[in-house]
Amino acid sequence: MDLPVMSEIVFDVIREDLGGYAADCSTEDMSVMADSWKELRESVKTAVQRHFHDGPKPVFVRLHLVRDDIISLE
């Protein structure tokens, strides 16, 4: 029996205060850190391929950049 193929997997990405990025998958137990956006993309691809090594892989990976802005009302 073939397992259904997931169309997309999502990582929430934050920019670290000291530089670099941290990405956490919202549906699977995966986390990745990298110094640059390019390194992050490659690290996420590697993590997803390893995580789904024995089964169907998602077709796409979405990197959702989360940004917090603090606005003073004073």
- Confidence class of residue 55 from pLDDT cuts 50, 70 and 90? confident
According to the model, what pLDDT value does residue 20 have? 96
CA–CA separation, 71 and 74 (whole Å)? 9
According to the model, what pLDDT value does residue 1 have? 47
> What does the pLDDT average to over 16-26?
94
Give 2's contacts (C-beta < 8 A, 6+ positions apart). 56
* 4 pLDDT higher than 90: no
Where is pLDDT greater, at 6 or 38? 38
Q: Taking Cα atoms as reference points, which of 20, 1, 4, 18 lies closest to residue 58?
A: 4
